[in-house]
Amino acid sequence: MMKNFWNERYGGDEYVYGTAPNEFLKEEIEDLDNGKALFIAEGEGRNAVLAAQLGWDVTALDYSKEGKKKAMQLAAERGVSINYIIDDVINFDFGFEQFDLIVLIYGHFPKELVSQLLPKIEKSLKPEGLFLAEVFSENQLGRSSGGPKSKDMLYTTPDFKNGLGSLEISYLRELDIHLDEGAHHTGDASVIRVIASKSC
């Protein structure tokens, strides 16, 4: 069961993806006016804590209780607070026009689940709200720098083109980068980066 896998992975003292935020997120969020943000599959909290440090009202979503413990510890160490909800993306109520920013950093799910998740993200964004994502592409298969070992759990650019509905995609690229995010995300990787916004 995947929940057990993640609780075991996050159960030690080490932050398995480090405590530094994702570089793509860091570059993009620094230019944004803050508001309400949702971080999906947030794990040990490194990205949500960055947003809280920048003044965002942050909700983190993940189904790992061990991930939550680490995230709350990191937030306390950095002197910020985050609202961390233990739930999965199917049961969680995303609401309607709730968030100014929704972030998906290496949150990987079966294709069937992704096709349900992306429309929820679209509806949950406020007008002028932004969706940011960095995820592994299908071309990550066979690389040792992290990510699922099943094609069904990896992304293609059409997944986002077809799944984000009326959101305006301003940036969508598959590219090779070098990852240095803790023990499980290190080395050359094939990723997809997305920036999409909701019109007024």
CB 43 within 8 A of CB 74: no
Provide the pLDDT confidence category of residue 129 given band limits of 50, 70 and 90: very high
Q: What is the pLDDT of residue 1?
A: 61
Give the list of residues 6+ apart from residue 105 with CB closer than 8 angstroms, or none: 22, 24, 25, 39, 41, 42, 47, 133, 134, 135
pTM to 2 decimal places = 0.95
Q: pLDDT tens for residues 142-153? A: 999 988 999 999
Q: What is the pLDDT of residue 13?
A: 76
On average, the pLDDT of the chain sits at 93
- Residue 82: CB atoms within 10 A of its CB come to 25
Q: pLDDT tens for residues 139-197? A: 999 999 988 999 999 999 999 999 999 999 999 999 999 999 877 788 999 999 999 99
Q: What is the pLDDT of residue 196?
A: 98
* 159 backbone dihedrals φ, ψ, rounded to 5°: -55, -40
26: β partners: none
Element (H, E) at 161: helix 157-163
Q: pLDDT tens for residues 72-117? A: 999 999 999 999 999 999 999 999 999 999 999 999 999 999 999 9
Lowest mean pLDDT among 5-9, 52-56, 129-133, 146-150: 5-9
* 42 backbone dihedrals φ, ψ, rounded to 5°: -85, -10
Could you give the count of Cα atoms lying within 13 Å of 193 in the half-sphere of its Cβ?
13
Element (H, E) at 127: strand 125-136
Helices in 14-156 by DSSP H: which ranges? 23-29, 46-53, 65-78, 111-124
Query: Can you read off the two tokens belonging to residue 103?
Result: 């972030």
Provide the pLDDT confidence category of residue 16 given band limits of 50, 70 and 90: confident
Q: Which amino acid type is present at position 10?
A: Y
Calpha distance 40→4 (Å, rounded): 18
> Looking at the domain that runs over 2-197, which CATH code has it been given?
3.40.50.150
